[in-house]
A and B are shown apart, each in its own frame.
Chain A
Amino acid sequence: MTQRGMRFSIDGFDGHHAGLLVAYLLQTKRISGAGHTSAINVFQTVLTFIAEGNLSKHVLDFTRPDVRESKSRRDGSCCSYLESSLDTVMQLSSVIADDMWDFLCPVTLNHPIPSSDGSFNCFWRVSGSAVDLLEREARRGLKELQSHTDTSCYDSLFMRKMGFFGCHDSFVHIPFDGKCLPFLKDSSLEVVDKDVEACPPLQAVREASIEQRTAFSTILAHCLPQQHLSARCVQLATTALGDRVQVIHSLVQWVNRPADGPTSSDSSSPSSTPIVTSSDPTSAHFPMWAIDRSADRSFDFVVSLGILLNNDKQERRVDKGPTTADGSLLTDLAADPHAVSGDNPTIAQNFDELKRFRDFWGPKVELRRFKDGSIVEAVVWDQPVTATAAAVRGDESARGVPSVVEQVVRYAFGRHLTAVCGLGGEAIRPVCTQLDRFLQEVSPLSSDRTTRRAVEALDSLRGILTSKVKELPLAIESVSCVSPALRYTSVHSVPPHPIVLSDMGSSVNAGSNKKSAASSKSMREMLKKHAGTSMSLLCPPLKVLVQLESTGKWPTNDLQAVVALKVALLLRLRQELSKQFQVTNFSAGIAAGIASNF
């Protein structure tokens, strides 16, 4: 857990929880306490227990060791232990919990830590996201252990440090201002100008609708603010991004205010809210204050969402709304009161989905007709454009369009968490595709489209060489690429050169007047198109290996003879290309000179 950055997060498992878990497995005889079980077997048992989803599906009851997982969980949010014979451990846990509660919850109301039947949930601060992350890691670790019989999995399991930010593909940081929370939790509380001066984000709170504030208040009424805000962010991002993502996890981190005390301008300035950093990992996620000051209980915190992207669908630009099975338009059906009245439960269910879809996306929803003939309500996102491309196109703002994931996240959080994120989601910071865009700015030509054009050209040439060139003494078996520019990894992809493109298929020396005239015309058009510009006369070649068929007639032990034969074959190949496809050379002197050397 330490190597995976789980132990010291606010809402994650820690060493105490791990100790309790192993104690439970001992108590329920899943682990033998006789002393002959090796550590790796105990570890494997613990991983298996977690990987099977026991933490998220069942209540673990210490009081009745003979009955395993006695109750089904109701909300699926966290795990419960009842007080048991493990008095020392539980007392310690209670003390910690009281301290944490007193410390973490300056604004909340009642909380569910001690339940009505006297039981105590010692995993009370572990979020569902942390449980999910732990289960995924357990499954992966178990797979590693089972696929390697030797000790080769030791490094990957225990030695490589890869925390929350190393394990996910993209991130969204949502900063929460601690001063907003008292206002957000009470929808009837008026925000006055004085408060807004003290805390600029409260302007958004004041402008938020009563419904939004009431909804927020309801969330905050039941648990720690950061726990529920974190869960809310995960739920919101999951709904908004849909199948663009595999899974989303959250991490809550405290943010220290400046040492000299917060001011209205400082609290809104990004540079004034650095995240707490320390060489000690245990203090990395917890608030800190000077020893001669009293504890500030209104710490800001940041909810960081870690997203595992779905490669195939992350760039999808359309989110379609629900449709009926027969493709009829739900909007029309909605206008018919009989259709939605409940006579047809399927339509009613679809209509509910449509309503939820509209509520979620708001004014972004539009009715669209698609190529397959379906007419559905959908949300369409803009095509991502880099700032450079936008400037070239003459866009005045020249700021470009962010990635689809960033557009979705900003819109969804701006719409549903306006008080915190701003109307357009300005307050959040997606870390998604900045590096992709940076790469495009640095090397605008290194696009897959440019490479694909070269690959397609080579495929055409391969077809000609392997099947259409007939008169070579040795047949061509295969044509292999070796240039990085033909495998999409070159920083400097090779675009088609205008001169080569215009002169392609020309016949300067072959005497074909018709071809020559066509070539000249094509070249003139190219020159007219590029008039007023400078054109590079450098042209990089793309290296290709041509495998010849096997034969026993090659000379042996004589490199010069082999090279001479290859030159002869190349000359013949050039001749055949010229004869069959009307391509000729433009500097025959070079070839003649080389040929005469042998």
Chain B
Amino acid sequence: MSVIHADSLDVCFEGFIFRLSLVASDEVESAAVRSLSDLAGDSALRSMAVARSLKTPPLHHSSVRSLKSEHPCYSGTVRLFTVWASKHCFTGEARHACDMLIDRSPTRCQMRPESFHRTSIHPSIAVGHLCTELIELIVAHEFLHPSSCTPPGSILTGFYRSLLRVAEHDWESEPLVVDLSGEISTSPSVMLDIVTNFRASRSHGKERSSDGPQVDCSNPAWNASFLDAMNVPMYVVSSADKPHKYWPSLAARSPEKMVLTMIAKSARSSAMRLMQWIKQPQHDEMSTDELLAIMSRRDAVMSRSDVVLRFHKSLFCRDPARAPPFARLNVYANTPVSEAGLHSLTVM
């Protein structure tokens, strides 16, 4: 079973819906993007747009899969960190739900998450959140570069060290380099490129804030708008950014500076409480409550919000058994087959 969209094809296969998007060669995709008026004159941003949407994601995906097979507890650590970030309102889950409500088309199966970036609801929801890829990279850093320790062998250790990394990393003056494939550590020139890129973007940001000269002319490809786009608070570069010339492809999805400060503060606080919980010689019966207290602290974001929108859980959880009131099929023994066809589904 398949459903066609403007840019993709939904194929129903073995109980899942796969959304297929066609990708042509690099030249074709770059030429197509070049025709967009807002990117026509900016080759760096143009190539970045192509790499970000078509080249980097598959590389990132395969690297994460490899890491998962090498370190079985990696995926659990990412999931736990995501739960932590979600409980602190630092993830973009609400973004998807907002998108459904705001951009909902009268025709089912035609919802486009890409359009949400034009809507500004809250910094921590709209742009200033920790996306899944960023979380994967932060956690991967602890597994690939464990400093003086061995790589984490449990979710507990991986989670604790990831919290510490977010809290203690000097985001302002140091890039977080995640060598997923081993190419960066074996090539000093690549590392040098990353540091040079980082310094260029940061110095551009400083000059801009002090009304100094606007453009770093050390590289003709780096114009002001490009360096502006790259000067993000959470500067994370991985080996999957190779098609992107080791600029951070996740730059557009980095948290804002204010939100990053909130994230680091919450991470530090959670890490301290987690360590206290680990060190307790007894109190086992209180562990669930204590863990919940460590994991969820929404005050930091909630106290700063004027309006809070609450979404039904089923918008985030994909369990078919959890039916929201607006998309629910009450099944009886005599429910006609015509009511339970594929046409009744809403693909979100």
Complex contact A536–B328 (CB within 8 A): yes
Q: For B344, what are the chain A residues with a Cβ–Cβ distance below 8 Å? A: 499, 537
- In the complex, the chain B residue whose C-beta lies closest to that of A581 is B13
Q: How far is the CB of A428 from chain B (nearest CB, A)?
A: 9
Does A333 reach chain B (CB closer than 8 Å)? no
Q: How far is the CB of A370 from chain B (nearest CB, A)?
A: 24
Does A467 reach chain B (CB closer than 8 Å)? no
Does A222 reach chain B (CB closer than 8 Å)? no
* A454-B76 Cα distance, complex, nearest whole Å: 17
Q: For A583, what are the chain B residues with a Cβ–Cβ distance below 8 Å? A: 1-2, 11-12
* A211-B189 Cα distance, complex, nearest whole Å: 67
* A206-B5 Cα distance, complex, nearest whole Å: 76
* A532-B80 Cα distance, complex, nearest whole Å: 34
Q: For B33, what are the chain A residues with a Cβ–Cβ distance below 8 Å? A: 559
Give 7 A-B contacts (CB < 8 Å), ordered by A residue: A156-B147, A162-B161, A461-B18, A488-B65, A531-B331, A548-B22, A559-B33
* A15-B287 Cα distance, complex, nearest whole Å: 36
Complex contact A541–B347 (CB within 8 A): yes
Complex contact A546–B20 (CB within 8 A): yes
Q: For A530, what are the chain B residues with a Cβ–Cβ distance below 8 Å? A: 331
Binary flags per residue of A531-561, CB closer than 8 Å to B gives 1, else 0: 1111111111111111110110010111110
Q: For B304, what are the chain A residues with a Cβ–Cβ distance below 8 Å? A: none
Of the residues B8, B36, B283, B329, contact of A537 by C-beta under 8 Å? B329
Complex contact A458–B346 (CB within 8 A): no
How many A-B Cβ pairs are below 8 Å? 393
Q: For B322, what are the chain A residues with a Cβ–Cβ distance below 8 Å? A: 536
Does B155 reach chain A (CB closer than 8 Å)? yes
Main secondary structure of the interface of B (DSSP, over half): mixed
Complex contact A141–B148 (CB within 8 A): yes
Binary flags per residue of A469-490, CB closer than 8 Å to B gives 1, else 0: 0000000000111101111111
Complex contact A532–B331 (CB within 8 A): yes
Complex contact B107–A590 (CB within 8 A): yes
* A571-B2 Cα distance, complex, nearest whole Å: 10
Complex contact B152–A534 (CB within 8 A): no
Q: How far is the CB of B326 from chain A (nearest CB, A)?
A: 9
Complex contact B16–A489 (CB within 8 A): no
Does B109 reach chain A (CB closer than 8 Å)? yes
Of the residues B24, B149, B340, contact of A562 by C-beta under 8 Å? B24
Complex contact B79–A170 (CB within 8 A): no
Near A by CB (< 8 A), chain B positions 1-38 give 1-25, 28-29, 31-36
Complex contact A585–B22 (CB within 8 A): no
Does B303 reach chain A (CB closer than 8 Å)? no
Q: Count residues of A near B (Cβ-Cβ below 8 Å).
A: 137
Complex contact B9–A443 (CB within 8 A): no
* A502-B7 Cα distance, complex, nearest whole Å: 27
Does A495 reach chain B (CB closer than 8 Å)? yes
* A595-B319 Cα distance, complex, nearest whole Å: 34
Does B291 reach chain A (CB closer than 8 Å)? yes
Q: For B323, what are the chain A residues with a Cβ–Cβ distance below 8 Å? A: 534-537
Q: For B86, what are the chain A residues with a Cβ–Cβ distance below 8 Å? A: 491
Q: For B155, what are the chain A residues with a Cβ–Cβ distance below 8 Å? A: 433, 435-436, 439
The 9 closest A-B pairs by CB, nearest first: A496-B15, A480-B58, A501-B15, A270-B282, A169-B153, A156-B147, A591-B4, A541-B19, A169-B154
* A120-B223 Cα distance, complex, nearest whole Å: 71
A537 and B282 contact, Cβ closer than 8 Å, known pairs A562-B24, A585-B1: no
Does A460 reach chain B (CB closer than 8 Å)? yes
Complex contact B1–A169 (CB within 8 A): no
Complex contact A536–B17 (CB within 8 A): no
Q: Which segment of B66-74, B213-221, B227-235, B247-255 sits at the interface?
A: B66-74
* A270-B280 Cα distance, complex, nearest whole Å: 9
* A162-B147 Cα distance, complex, nearest whole Å: 10
* A531-B323 Cα distance, complex, nearest whole Å: 14
Of the residues A310, A431, A494, contact of B16 by C-beta under 8 Å? A494
Does B123 reach chain A (CB closer than 8 Å)? no
Of the residues B61, B281, B317, B318, contact of A486 by C-beta under 8 Å? B61
Binary flags per residue of B264-298, CB closer than 8 Å to A gives 1, else 0: 00000000000100111111100110010001000
- Max chain A C-beta neighbours (<10 A), residue from B78, B80, B281, B319: B281
Complex contact B78–A554 (CB within 8 A): no
* A141-B150 Cα distance, complex, nearest whole Å: 11
Q: For A364, what are the chain B residues with a Cβ–Cβ distance below 8 Å? A: none
Does B348 reach chain A (CB closer than 8 Å)? yes
Does A26 reach chain B (CB closer than 8 Å)? no
Does B335 reach chain A (CB closer than 8 Å)? yes
Complex contact A173–B281 (CB within 8 A): yes
Q: For A558, what are the chain B residues with a Cβ–Cβ distance below 8 Å? A: 32, 35
Does A232 reach chain B (CB closer than 8 Å)? no
Does A250 reach chain B (CB closer than 8 Å)? no
Does A432 reach chain B (CB closer than 8 Å)? yes
Q: For A91, what are the chain B residues with a Cβ–Cβ distance below 8 Å? A: none
Binary flags per residue of B305-348, CB closer than 8 Å to A gives 1, else 0: 00000000011111111111001111111010100111111111
